[in-house]
Amino acid sequence: MKRTNIHSASHGLIAEIQRMSTEDGPGIRTTVFFKGCRLKCIWCHNPECISSKPQIHWIESRCIGCKTCLDVCPKVALTYSPSGISIRRERCDTCGRCAEECPSTAMEVMGKSWRSNELIDELIKDRAYFETSGGGITLSGGDPTLQAPFAGILLKNLKKSGVQTAIDTCGVCANGALDQLLPNTDLVLYDIKEMDPQKHRRFTGQSNAKVLDNLLYLCDTMATRGYPKKLWIRTPIVPDTTATEDNIQGIGEFLSVNVGTLISRWELCAFNNLCRDKYQRLGLDWVFKDSELLSESEMEYLTEVARNTGVNPDIVHWSGSTKIEEDGAGPN
């Protein structure tokens, strides 16, 4: 495997390209998941995107137990037992030999280096869907600001091609990184996860100071330079962490006082546990592996709290899956 995991203006490291997405902005979208994030949220739904380096993972359901991967691994990083393949990550240098030789694609390298022009050609294949649905391309991750020179060029060329663009960011980056992305971004999906700085540090590894500062910077850019055109705020609603009335109240008050009419949507995103397998494949334990989904009534309640914080209630919505209850409305 060619080792081109360089972050530069011409190359970017991408974990995955997801087509036909309806969750990362309006219409039908293609979402590009960048490798690398400055936060390490304990609930992260994309753990394969946290590291800014390629990682090998093993997909149990595909493995036929042939042990070819053990034979070809030059680092002797793999062992086989009745419970499956174990990867000694301190030995693995992600050379990719095991993935190349595995007959059933059970070994995969997460993280492919793309040239910007090749990635653009790949992404605009879905242009017809974008045009009919009002969709476009969303750079997500991970966080695209961590590869700002590459993401900036990508956005510029996508805009030149007439494609609607969005970025999804946790907001922890230098102003200069935002400056490279925002001029060619139509929509920013901006995460505000937790208002209490200590809790934010406990849940994500860092205080929320930079997140809030950058939101103000972003809003100033919108007001004075006219870009991005739209701003959506997203708050993950996670059991026993962010899913509290105090948190939603605090975020809403901050938005209402500081950001006002510049937001066109505040979305409360219900926790999901579909990423359990991803943690397993990476050999990571996940603190939420046995956590249940929230109920519709819990999501409705927090949405009502959000609608009474001073933010325009019409822009507050919730999304995602919930526990099955006998009665209750679906996401709005």
Nearest distance from C-beta of residue 64 to ligand SF4, angstroms? 5
Residue 95 vs 170, nearer CB to ligand SF4:
95
Residue 87 vs 316, nearer CB to ligand SF4:
87
Nearest distance from C-beta of residue 177 to ligand SF4, angstroms? 30
63 near ligand SF4 (CB under 6 A) = yes
d(CA 284, CA 276): 10
d(CA 247, CA 268): 12
Among 3, 40, 65, 174, binds ligand SF4 (CB under 6 A): 65
Residue 98 vs 120, nearer CB to ligand SF4:
98
99-128 residues in contact with ligand SF4 (CB under 6 A) are 102-104, 106-107
280 near ligand SF4 (CB under 6 A) = no
68-87 residues in contact with ligand SF4 (CB under 6 A) are 68-69, 73, 75, 77-78, 85, 87
Residue 71 vs 240, nearer CB to ligand SF4:
71
282 near ligand SF4 (CB under 6 A) = no
Residue recorded with tokens 């993401």: 151
Among 37, 44, 56, 173, binds ligand SF4 (CB under 6 A): 56
Nearest distance from C-beta of residue 198 to ligand SF4, angstroms? 38
Among 14, 41, 50, 98, binds ligand SF4 (CB under 6 A): 98
Helix (H), strand (E), coil (C) string for the chain: CCCCCCCCCCEEEEEEEEEEECCCCCCCEEEEEECCCCCCCCCCCCHHHCCCCCEEEECHHHCCCCCHHHHHCCCCCEEEECCEEEECCCCCCCCCHHHHHCCCCCEEEECEEEEHHHHHHHHHHHHHHHHHHCCEEEEECCCHHHHHHHHHHHHHHHHHCCCCEEEEECCCCCHHHHHHHHHHCCEEEEECCCCCHHHHHHHHCCCCHHHHHHHHHHHHHHHHHCCCCEEEEEEEECCCCCCCHHHHHHHHHHHHHHCHHHEEEEEEEECCCCCHHHHHHCCCCCCCCCCCCCEHHHHHHHHHHHHCCCCCHHHEEEECCCECCCCCCCCC
Nearest distance from C-beta of residue 59 to ligand SF4, angstroms? 8
Residue 88 vs 125, nearer CB to ligand SF4:
88
d(CA 38, CA 77): 28
64 near ligand SF4 (CB under 6 A) = yes
Residue 93 vs 240, nearer CB to ligand SF4:
93
Residue 92 vs 262, nearer CB to ligand SF4:
92
Nearest distance from C-beta of residue 98 to ligand SF4, angstroms? 3
Contacts with ligand SF4 by CB under 6 A lie at 56, 58, 63-69, 73, 75, 77-78, 85, 87, 92-98, 102-104, 106-107
